Structure 1
C-alpha cells in the first residue's frame, strides 16, 4: 500500500489508520427548539442561581428582523442575563474577531462571560467559537492560526459552555471544529482547527430560516450539498496514515461507513427540497428538511473532510469578497464533480444517481460525469446561482494564475484531503473550467 499521496497526521506511523473518531456537540433539532434553549444551558451546567452572565454573538440583520429578541427572551425567561454583541460581519476577518474579544475583555475582564451563544449564519457562529476559545486560552487570534501566518499555538482549553444556533441551512459551523477568517492584508483565509473550537451544543430551529431570501437560501444550500458530496468522495479513513498519538489525528480524518450514511441522506434531503425552499420559502417542511440536510452534510463532510472545492473557494472569497456558499456552488462542477470524478468513477455514479440522474445504459465513466450535469441542472432550476466565476465576480483568464498559486500554497490543509492530487497546473485548468458552467 503506497502512502506517497495519502493524507496523514502531522506525526504518524508508517501504517494504515485503524481507528476512527466522531465527536459531536449535543444536538437539539426541531420546530420551536429555541424554547428549550434555557434547558440546554442548564444541562451544560449553567446554574441560574449563580447569577450567570452570557454573551450572544450575532449580526445587525438578525436584530432588525426580530429573531434576536426571540432568542434573548427565552434566555431571560430561564433566569439568565445575556448581553448582545451584533458586530459579526459577513465572511469575518481576524480584526472582526479581535473586536469581539475586545468587547468581552472590556466588559467582563480576562475571564470573560459565563456562557456564550452564537446565533446566525456561519460568520456569526465562527466569531462566537473563536471568541469563546481565545478568551479561555488567552492571547489573540493569530496566536492560534497555523504558521507562517500565525504562531501555531495549540488550544488547550475550550472555555465556558457554548451553544450555537444556525439561521441558515448551509455551513454546518454549529458542529464543526474549525473557525475560518480572512487575513485581508495577505488576501488569504486561515482557520483555527481544534476540538476546543467545537461547541458544547447546537440548537437547530427551522422557523428561523423561513425569512431567508431565495438567493441566500440557494447559495447556503450549495455549501451544505458541497460538504455532503466532498465527504462522500474523500479518502476512506483506513487509507490514511495512522497518527503516532491520538491527539495528533487530524479533525478531517477520512470517510467511514457512518459518515457515508449521513452524506447519502444529506444529498437526498438537500437536492430533493432546495427547489421548494428557494421558490416557496414559507414551506416549513422543506425548510426543516434543508436544515436537517445541512446538519447531516456537516456531520459527514466536516468529519471526513472538505476538499478541493473548499480549498479553491477561500482564495476567491478572500480576494473578491464573495459569499462562501455561492463560491462553492460555482466551483463544485469543475472541481469535486469534474476533476475528482476520475479518482473513483463508481462512487461518482452513485452521487449522480442520488442527485436524480438516470445512468442506465451508460459506461461507468460516462455515468460518473452525469453527477456534474445533474448538479448544474439543479443550479439552473434555482435561478439564483451565478453561471460561473466570471458572472460571480468578473473573474477572467487573467486571474487564474494567482488563484491557482494561492490555492496550492495556502490550502494544503484541505488539498491533503482531496482524493486526487492537485498541482498548480491542475488548479489552473480547474479554475479555467469554472469560469463558465453554462452559457
Structure 2
C-alpha cells in the first residue's frame, strides 16, 4: 500500500500509483572535436544554411578570452551560418541577467528573435540560453513563467527555434535538463522555469573544451554531477509516486526507473574513478572525456528521476553567499544525501558506498550504508580543492542555520517532494549544522 501522504506527484493527480514512465532527451553528440559537427547538427534540426539563418551564441567573457568561442563561431561560419555572440552571462545568473539577453535579442532581431540559438559554457550560460529562447518564443518576460508566488506561474506552450547546448564543464547537466535556475536577488532565493519546452533540441559535448577548466572548478562542478547521480539513484521509484490525471501533468522529476538507475551506476563509477586525475592532471584528455561522459550520465539519471534534498538546501546557500553551485553541493552532500537520507534505504546506500570504492566486507547493511559518506569525504580530501564544510565555504555559523533551514523548507518544496525521506524545518537545521564541518580543516 502506498503512503499517499508522502508520495511525490503532479499537482493534479489520481489516487493511485504511477504506471508509466517517460524519458525525453535532446539529440546527443559526444566526442573529441564534436564541435566540428555543430553545423551538421543544426542542419539536422532543420536550420538550412542556404536560407541565410541568423543565430545567437550565448556565452560569457571568459570563454571569449580563452578563444573557445572563436572555435565555435568558426565552425558555424564554415558551415554557412551567420552568428552573433552575446557574452554577458554572469556567474550564478539572476533573472535580470536573463532579461538583458532577452532585451538584446529583441533589440537586434525583433519579437520573433533569432533563427537558432547556441548556448556555450557552464551551466549559467546554458540556463540563460534556454530561458532566453523560451521567453522569446512565448512572449512576455521571465517572471511570467516562474512559479507563484515569485512569478505568475504561466505555462510555456512553445519551444521556439532550434537550440543546441555545448557544455564546457563536466557537472551541471544543464545541456539535457528541462529546468533553468536563476537567483531572485531581492528575495535571496533561487527560482526556476521548469518545462519540457525549456529543454534543448540537441547537445554537443566535446571534452577538448574542458581541458582549460582550472583544477578547483573541475573538482567543484564534478561534485554537482556526482550529486545528480547519487540523488537520482536514491530517490523515489517512479511507481512509488501518484499517477498524474493526464500525461501533461506528469512532473519533469518523475522518479527513478531501471533505465535511470543504469545511468546513475555508470555515472558514479566514471566520476569517482576519474576525478582525481582530471583535477591533478587537467590535460589528461581521457580523464576529461570520462568526466564529461559521467556528468552527462549523471544528469540523465538525476535530472529525470529527480534532484532532492541536497539541491534544495544548496539554493538558499548559493543565493545568500554567492557560492558556486557545485562546491555548495559538495559540502552539503555528506550530511544530506549520504547522511540523513541513508536511513531511507540502507541497502541502496550500501550499494552507493561500493560504487564509490568503499570496502564493505564484513559490515552490516547499515554500517555499509554509512561508508558511502566516509568514502565521499575521503574523495573530497584527496582532491584538495573542496572546502571542508559550510563554515570554510562561506563563513556559515550556527547562527545562520535556522534561516537557511526555513528558506529550504519554505521555498524548495519542488525538490523536497522528491526526497526519499520527509524533511521538516527542524530536520533541515540539524543537517545544516552537521554540514558546517565535514572534517577538521
Q: Give TM class, smaller chain.
A: over 0.9
Taking the aligned partners of 2:187 and 2:173, their CA distance within structure 1 comes to 26
Q: Give the aligned partner of residue 355 of structure 1.
A: 356
Taking the aligned partners of 2:95 and 2:5, their CA distance within structure 1 comes to 35
By how many angstroms is 1:49 displaced? 1.1
Superposed CA offset, 1:315-367 (max 9, x none)? 00000000000000000000000000000000000000000000011111111
Q: Give the aligned partner of residue 407 of structure 2.
A: 406
**SS in structure 2 of the partner of residue 376 of structure 1:** helix
By how many angstroms is 1:258 displaced? 0.1
**SS in structure 1 of the partner of residue 62 of structure 2:** helix
**SS in structure 2 of the partner of residue 207 of structure 1:** helix
Q: Give the aligned partner of residue 183 of structure 2.
A: 182
Q: Give the aligned partner of residue 371 of structure 2.
A: 370
Taking the aligned partners of 2:84 and 2:11, their CA distance within structure 1 comes to 40
Taking the aligned partners of 2:256 and 2:211, their CA distance within structure 1 comes to 32
Mapping for residues 33-432 of structure 1, pairs under 5 Å: 33-432=34-433
Superposed CA offset, 1:287-314 (max 9, x none)? 0000000000000000000000000000
By how many angstroms is 1:376 displaced? 0.1
TM-score scaled by structure 2? 0.99
Superposed CA offset, 1:169-217 (max 9, x none)? 0000000000000000000000000000000000000000000000000
Taking the aligned partners of 1:43 and 1:355, their CA distance within structure 2 comes to 39
By how many angstroms is 1:77 displaced? 0.3
Q: Give the aligned partner of residue 433 of structure 1.
A: 434
**SS in structure 2 of the partner of residue 104 of structure 1:** helix
Q: Give the aligned partner of residue 26 of structure 2.
A: 25
Taking the aligned partners of 2:65 and 2:350, their CA distance within structure 1 comes to 45
Q: Give the aligned partner of residue 14 of structure 2.
A: 13
Superposed CA offset, 1:156-181 (max 9, x none)? 00000000000000000000000000
Taking the aligned partners of 1:239 and 1:175, their CA distance within structure 2 comes to 24
Taking the aligned partners of 1:356 and 1:70, their CA distance within structure 2 comes to 38
Taking the aligned partners of 2:176 and 2:202, their CA distance within structure 1 comes to 8
By how many angstroms is 1:267 displaced? 0.1
Taking the aligned partners of 2:126 and 2:368, their CA distance within structure 1 comes to 38
By how many angstroms is 1:120 displaced? 0.0
Gaps of 5+ in 2: none
**SS in structure 2 of the partner of residue 401 of structure 1:** helix
Taking the aligned partners of 2:319 and 2:143, their CA distance within structure 1 comes to 17
Taking the aligned partners of 1:50 and 1:284, their CA distance within structure 2 comes to 38
RMSD: 0.3
Taking the aligned partners of 2:82 and 2:42, their CA distance within structure 1 comes to 12
Taking the aligned partners of 1:129 and 1:224, their CA distance within structure 2 comes to 19
Taking the aligned partners of 1:222 and 1:334, their CA distance within structure 2 comes to 14
Taking the aligned partners of 1:274 and 1:151, their CA distance within structure 2 comes to 41
**SS in structure 2 of the partner of residue 242 of structure 1:** strand
Taking the aligned partners of 2:82 and 2:418, their CA distance within structure 1 comes to 43
Number of residues paired by the alignment? 439
Q: Which runs of 4+ in 1 moved over 6 A?
A: none
Taking the aligned partners of 1:415 and 1:358, their CA distance within structure 2 comes to 31
**SS in structure 2 of the partner of residue 419 of structure 1:** coil
By how many angstroms is 1:399 displaced? 0.2
Superposed CA offset, 1:205-263 (max 9, x none)? 00000000000000000000000000000000000000001000000000000000000
Taking the aligned partners of 1:364 and 1:175, their CA distance within structure 2 comes to 34
By how many angstroms is 1:3 displaced? 1.0
**SS in structure 1 of the partner of residue 10 of structure 2:** coil
Taking the aligned partners of 1:396 and 1:3, their CA distance within structure 2 comes to 37
